[in-house]
Amino acid sequence: MGDPDSVFHDLANQDPTALARLVLGDPSIEAVGLPASLPIIRRRDGDALLLARRDRVEFLLHVECDLRQEQVESRLLEYAGIVAKREHRHAQQETRPERPIVSVLLRLHGAGHAAQRRVHQVPGLDEPTIVFRYLEVDVRGIEAEELLAMRSPALLPLVVLARGGDRDDVLERTVAALDSAPVSHEQRAVLLSSSWTLASVVGAHRMIARLKAMSWFKELPNVKELLEEGRAEGRVQGEATGQVKALAKVLRMRVARLGRPSPALSRKIAAIKDPVELERLVALAMDADTLAAFRAGAFPGRATRRGK
């Protein structure tokens, strides 16, 4: 239950229609879940595969979630290709037309962008060999109030990830909805465990405190496992924070040796919290001969006025 991919898979199975309406922004869609097991080398299941219907047109909706802002276009394309191959085989066996396929990337912890259509191209000699189109939806770009208004218990664990999901009134309403949701005991256990996992991975401590205070939470069969995961996540976050601070200090020292950075450059450097990016900048600062050379390598494609 602690894996966000597994969490999302469980939630999608609880209410496929709500998930389809959320990612496509269309309240008229109806959907049912399909087996998402994909026979690929990785032996990893897809996160959600739905049979959806809109205006009497059936289509396959393939949804993958992402928590860490990774580049997943190739994985999406791979999965869509496998789904298409399976759909082609089934259509031939059932003597029917092939159904369209829609691929969606759901960012669980993105930057808050509105939903946007993306294009991933596989280069060819002259023109792209493959042009793959998909929809990218950022949960943080969705209003928490909108999620609550959909009145789907399966979407409640996502509220804390949405815009405004950290407001006290929203947290209280989310917990109240989890407490009173008309679901089975097993489904409620999935909802509470999922809420705990997603709140833990984004550091939503006030939501975690509210979940721990619920009487239902204490009855979860995996409550000890969840509490230990929370402690482990806290340790990992603490270690990551320490790593970022150490790298940031080294970077400031290296940059200072090249010259006095402008306030604008200092702000850009201070805003970076990704340890991988900080390591890259430290390496650049060690190799650069001048502040301008460092600036050009660290932030390419921008104005390079003196000291910026």
Helix boundaries (H) for the chain: 4-14, 16-24, 73-93, 144-149, 168-180, 185-201, 205-212, 215-218, 223-258, 263-270, 275-287, 291-298
Give the pLDDT of residue 69: 63
Higher confidence at residue 189 or residue 90? 90
Are β-strands 48-54 and 101-107 bridged in parallel, bridged antiparallel, or unpaired? unpaired
Higher confidence at residue 237 or residue 286? 286
Higher confidence at residue 194 or residue 132? 132
CA distance 126 to 249: 47
Distances in whole angstroms, Cα of residue 81 to Cα of each of 69, 105, 187: 22, 15, 32
pLDDT of 177 strictly over 90: yes
Nearest to 54 by CA among 114, 105, 99, 86: 99
Least confident piece of the model among 85-89, 93-97, 154-158, 213-217: 213-217
Integer-rounded Cα radius of gyration of the chain: 23
Structure tokens at 181: 């949701």
pTM, full prediction: 0.69
pLDDT of 284 strictly over 70: yes
Give the pLDDT of residue 211: 83
Q: In the predicted model, what is the mean pLDDT of residues 92-114?
A: 91
pLDDT band at 46 (very low <50, low <70, confident <90, very high): low
